[in-house]
Amino acid sequence: MDKAKLKHIAIIMDGNGRWAQCRSHERIWGHIRGSKIVSNIVEEADDLGVQALTLYAFSTENWSRPLGEVTVLFKLLKKFLLKERSRILKNNIQFKVMGDTSKLPEKTKSLIKDLEEESNSNTGLKLTFAFGYGGRDEIVQAANNFIKENPGKELTEELLQSYLLMPHLGDVDLMIRTGGDQRISNFLLWQSAYAELYFTETKWPDFTRVEFRKIVEFVSKRERRFGNVCSSDLQTSKLMAVENKEIITNL
Ligand code: FPP
């Protein structure tokens, strides 16, 4: 598999708090440092020819964090929008936020709306921030919206997919989680059914373009079978069709 086949990459940017605590700083220091890494990884994804990059910036569960920490995350989002706007537009990136942004300050909401509109027709990397996002919530909302619009009609996988928040992004090919934990924490549950998973011990503020590229190159070499057998086994099984038939008949 060549790396261009990893069309949609999702990242759980974890480990900010522990990164700061290891250095005897407050957890928010880790988020501040972590926010500076985001644009490097966006740039690298763009250079690698990735089509979509979805970043987990704030989960529905993160609402239970101390107010000070939540406020810092809000401010970092605003800072990112102000600082990266021109670069996003210059690099033909299409920017979107998915999730419940209703509790964000009005100014941040309008910055998001403006950048989404300005970058909407861009044809390069699709950069999406999951903010106030939860995978289960997204699936429940999709099902409810479908039922409301199609009373009595049966739901299919394709129809549910079309009611997700960002149907155009398609399935996730690779999900990376930094920070050493090995779980997907309610991120893109539907879209990751066949995603390759990669967990790195590196905490998000230490994550580099070089490590990101190495992961993409490493995972690109994995064979993805999507529930099928590998291609060489398929060839062999065709050659052995007669023998297989005999085995099945005698079962
Ligand atoms: C997890 O670290 C990270 C988050 C909850 C938020 C991710 C946010 C950023 C990378 C910065 C925000 C940037 C923008 C542009 C919005 P954690 O606090 O759970 O770390 P821990 O597992 O060490 O406690």
The full set of domains in the chain, from first to last, is 8-249 (3.40.1180.10)
Asked if 73 and 31 touch (Cβ cutoff 8 Å), the reply is: yes
Q: Where are the alpha helices (DSSP H) in 49-155?
A: 67-90, 106-119, 135-149
Which of 31, 74, 83, 184 for mutating ligand 1's site (highest number of atoms within 8 Å of CB)?
Answer: 31
In the reported structure, the alpha carbon of residue 116 is separated from the centroid of ligand 1 by a whole-number distance in angstroms of: 23
Q: How many residues does the chain have?
A: 251
Out of 40, 46, 62, 91, the active site residue is: 62
Asked if 194 and 224 touch (Cβ cutoff 8 Å), the reply is: yes
Q: Taking the CA of residue 215 as centre, how many other CA atoms within 13 Å lie in the half-sphere pointing to its CB?
A: 25
CA distance 136 to 2: 32
In the reported structure, the alpha carbon of residue 218 is separated from the centroid of ligand 1 by a whole-number distance in angstroms of: 25
What's the confidence (pLDDT) of residue 163?
98
CA distance 71 to 54: 22
Residue 102 phi, psi (nearest 5): -60, -30
Q: What does each C-alpha distance from 149 to 18, 142, 157, 205, 215 come to in angstroms? A: 45, 11, 16, 44, 42
Residue range 148-181, pLDDT digits in tens: 999 999 999 999 999 999 999 999 999 999 999 9
Residue 129 phi, psi (nearest 5): -95, 125
Q: The pTM is what?
A: 0.91
In the reported structure, the alpha carbon of residue 37 is separated from the centroid of ligand 1 by a whole-number distance in angstroms of: 11
Q: What does each C-alpha distance from 45 to 9, 37, 143, 164, 234 come to in angstroms? A: 9, 13, 32, 24, 33
Nearest CA, atom 13, ligand 1: 35
Q: List, for the chain, all residue ranges whose pLDDT scores fall below the cut of 70.
A: 1-4, 225-240, 242-243
Residue for token digits 């050659």?
239
Find the residues whose C-beta lies inside 6 A of ligand 1. Answer: 13-18, 27, 31, 34-35, 38, 57-58, 62, 73, 76-77, 80, 179, 204
Tell me, yes or no, if 14 is annotated catalytic. yes
Neighbours of 79 (CB within 10 A): 14
